Amino acid sequence: MQIKLKNKVEIAKNTLLLEFDLEGQKISFKAGQNAAWILPNLKAEQPGANLHTFSIASAPEQTDIIQFAARISPSPFKQSLTTMPLGEEIVLGQIKGDLILPPLGTPIVWLAGGIGITPFVSMLRSIKIKRLDYQITLIYSNRDKQSTAFLAELQQLAKDLPNFKLILTMTDEVNWPGEKQIINAELIKKYVTDNNQPLYYVVGAPAMNQSIYDSLISLNIPTERIKTEDFTGY
């Protein structure tokens, strides 16, 4: 499916949110899923270098647009995103992924680092639009406020959704009044006191995911209650 770039905005340091106009085309996906995004005008030296998989940032209920967010790097694909003019067409490829909302009534703990927040933003937007009642704890780790994608929106959602608890940890922010440690067993245990066996979703860079997974195992969380998704190619 061909879609046109409608808007592009820097939402954090070296982080772009790209919005595409569906122009009446219908797509079907679940909040939290990812898609293949293909740049047909990118002259790629390596096969497949004009394709990248990103989580969808918009909610399925936002039927007129679709969004993704990306950290900018020196790669040809990411550099093409920075110079892409409004109105340019890209190809939306396969949508897939099982990092989606569980049945209502299931407590959820989300553990995110950096741009790994994207699928959770999609789910939160969907929850707000549909007025769903989920019990969610989100621990979101970044270096500082400037590099924290969707910061203002997440803080507003924490006010709007009564059962959404947001914990921000800034590891390099000198004057940050909140948490500053990485996501580890100590931090998780501090904020997750639910004895109803919540589901744990872990999304970030592979090394961070492995560290958090090990922390959850050390807290005796059953493996079947942990879902992970690696964000590579930052």
Residue pLDDT, tens place only, 14-67: 999 999 999 999 999 999 999 999 999 887 666 678 899 999 999 999 999 999
Q: Mark which of 61, 96, 131 sits at the end of a domain.
A: 96
Residue 47 is predicted with a pLDDT of 64
The answer to whether position 198 is within a domain reads yes
pLDDT the model gives residue 57: 98
Number of H helices, E strands in the chain: 5, 11
Q: Are residues 67 and 146 in the same domain?
A: no
Q: How far is CA 74 from CA 82, 127, 148, 220, 234, in A?
A: 11, 35, 20, 40, 9
Q: Is there a contact between 226 and 198 (Cβ–Cβ < 8 Å)?
A: no
DSSP E strands in the chain: the ranges are 2-12, 15-21, 34-38, 51-55, 65-71, 89-96, 108-113, 136-142, 164-170, 199-204, 226-230
- 102 in any annotated domain: no
Q: Which residue ranges of the chain lie beneath pLDDT 50?
A: 233-234
Looking at the DSSP bridge assignments, the partners of residue 55 are 34
Residue 41 belongs to domain with CATH number = 2.40.30.10
Say whether both 153 and 199 belong to one domain.
yes
Domain presence at residue 156: yes
Q: Tell which of 68, 96, 124 closes a domain.
A: 96
Question: What's the whole-number average pLDDT of the chain?
Answer: 93
Q: Is residue 44 included in any domain, yes or no?
A: yes
Residues 131, 222 within the same domain = yes
Q: Is residue 92 part of a domain?
A: yes
DSSP-assigned letter for residue 160: H
